[in-house]
């Protein structure tokens, strides 16, 4: 990548056969959002609050579903246990 830093516009024009024209600025001093207002690199604070809330709610939901499956699996295995050694199948 460092080799490309020393390339002059005249060398590029010689290799390509036409002059190289740069029409865009690679970076702006103050980024602008789609509505024209300046934005920060971190984004909007309300967006972060909603993301944190969504992660917390989804974590709780996953935990509740996991505990429900664990409870159902325990009930299912308790019903399927073989009888004790001293017991008979017929009462």
Total-model pTM: 0.42
In this prediction, residue 78 carries a pLDDT of: 72
Domain presence at residue 75: yes
Domain count for the chain, please give it: 1
Structural domain for 50, as ranges: 43-82
What DSSP letter does each residue of 39-71 carry, written as one string? --SS--HHHHHHHHHHHHHHHHHHHHHHHHHHH
Q: CB under 8 Å to 32, separation ≥6 — which residues?
A: 38, 39
- For residue 19, tell me if it sits in a domain: no
DSSP letter for 6, please. Answer: G
pLDDT values of the chain reduced to their tens digit, one per residue, 91 residues: 566 667 788 888 888 898 888 766 656 566 677 777 776 655 556 678 888 999 999 999 999 999 999 999 888 777 766 656 665 555 5
């Amino acid at each position: 990548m460092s080799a490309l830093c020393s390339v002059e516009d005249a060398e590029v024009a010689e290799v390509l056969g036409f002059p190289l024209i740069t029409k865009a600025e690679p970076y702006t001093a103050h980024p602008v959002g789609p509505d024209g207002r300046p934005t920060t690199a971190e984004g909007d604070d309300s967006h972060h609050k909603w993301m944190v809330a969504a992660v917390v709610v989804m974590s709780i939901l996953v935990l509740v579903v996991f505990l429900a499956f664990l409870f159902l699996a325990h009930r299912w295995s308790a019903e399927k246990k073989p009888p004790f050694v001293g017991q008979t199948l017929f009462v």
